[in-house]
A and B are shown apart, each in its own frame.
Chain A
Amino acid sequence: MQMPSPDARIMARKAQVVQRLTEALGERGVIHDPSETRAYECDALTAYRCPPLCVVLPSTTEEVSAALRICHEENVPVVPRGSGTSLAGGALPTADSVILGVSRMNRVLETDTADRIIRVQTGRTNLSVTGAVEELGFFYAPDPSSQLACAIAGNIAMNSGGAHCLKYGVTTNNLLGVTMVQMDGTVVEIGGAHMDAGGLDLLGVICGSEGQLGVVTEATLRILPKPEGALPVLMGYDSAEAAGACVADIIKAGVLPVAIEYMDRPCIRACEAFAKAGYPDCEALLIVEVEGSADEINHQLETILKIARDHDPVEIRAAQDADEAARIWLGRKSAFGAMGQINDYMCLDGTIPVSALPEVLKRIGELSDQYGLGVANVFHAGDGNMHPLILFDANKEGDLEKCEEMGADILRLCVEVGGCLTGEHGVGVEKRDLMTVQFEPQDLEAQMKVKDVFDPKWLLNPAKVFPLAASEGRRA
Chain B
Amino acid sequence: MIRPGSEAELAEALRDATGPLSVRGGGTRGLLPDGTPLSTSALSGITLHDPAALTLVALAGTPVEEIDAALAKANQRLAFEPMDHRALLGTTGTPTIGGVVAANVSGPRRMQVGAARDHLLGLRFVDGEGTVVKNGGRVMKNVTGYDLARLVAGSRGALGVITEVALKVLPGTETAASLVIRGLDDATAVRAMSEALGTPFEVSGAAHDPQAQGGARTVLRIEGFAPSVEYRCRALAERLASHGAWEVETDREAVRVDWRGIRDVAPFHGTAGDVWRVSVRPSQAAELVARAGAEQAFYDWGGGLIWLRCAEGDDLRARLGRYDGHATLVRAAPETHAKLHTLQPEPLAVQALTRGLRETFDPRGILAA
Contacts and interface: CB of A to CB of B under 8 A. Distances in A.
A439 interface: yes
A198 B197 contact: no
A292 B54 CA distance: 22
A190 B350 contact: yes
Interface string A104-119: 0000000011111100
Interface of B: 50-55, 74-75, 104, 106, 110-111, 114-115, 117-118, 127, 131-135, 137-151, 153-155, 158-159, 170-174, 191, 194-195, 197-200, 224-225, 227-228, 231, 235, 279-283, 301, 304-305, 324-328, 343-344, 346-347, 349-350, 353-354, 356-357, 360-361
Interface stretch (A74-82, A123-131, A162-170): A162-170
Interface in A154-183: 158-159, 161, 165-166, 169-170, 172-173, 182
A422 B305 CA distance: 35
Contacts of B139: 351-353, 383-385, 418-420, 423
B147 A158 contact: no
Contacts of B150: 172, 201, 204-205, 207
Given A228-B200, A444-B145, A296 B131 contact: no
Contact of A208 (B127, B146, B159, B281): B146
B349 A198 contact: no
B200 A186 contact: no
B115 A196 contact: yes
A353 B53 contact: yes
20 contacts: A137-B200, A186-B349, A187-B349, A194-B326, A195-B115, A198-B327, A200-B159, A201-B104, A205-B151, A225-B197, A293-B228, A296-B227, A384-B53, A418-B137, A423-B141, A435-B145, A438-B144, A446-B131, A446-B148, A451-B146
Interface string A428-455: 0001000100111011111101111110
B171 A195 contact: no
A410 to B, nearest CB: 14
Interface of A: 112-117, 137-138, 158-159, 161, 165-166, 169-170, 172-173, 182, 186-190, 192-202, 204-205, 207-209, 225-228, 247-249, 251-256, 292-293, 295-296, 299-300, 351-355, 380, 382-385, 418-427, 431, 435, 438-440, 442-447, 449-454, 465
Contacts of B145: 427, 435, 438-439, 443-444, 447, 465
A198 B137 CA distance: 26
A137 B198 contact: yes
Contacts of A252: 51-52, 74
B140 A165 contact: yes
A440 B104 CA distance: 26
A199 B354 contact: yes
Given A193-B324, A384-B140, A293 B148 contact: no
Nearest to A446: B133
Contacts of B361: 446, 449
Given A419-B139, A465-B146, 5 more contacts: A351-B141, A384-B139, A423-B139, A446-B148, A450-B151
Contacts of B155: 200-201
Contacts of A435: 144-145
A300 B148 CA distance: 37
B143 A158 contact: yes
Contacts of A421: 144
A353 B50 contact: yes
A253 B54 CA distance: 11
B72 to A, nearest CB: 12
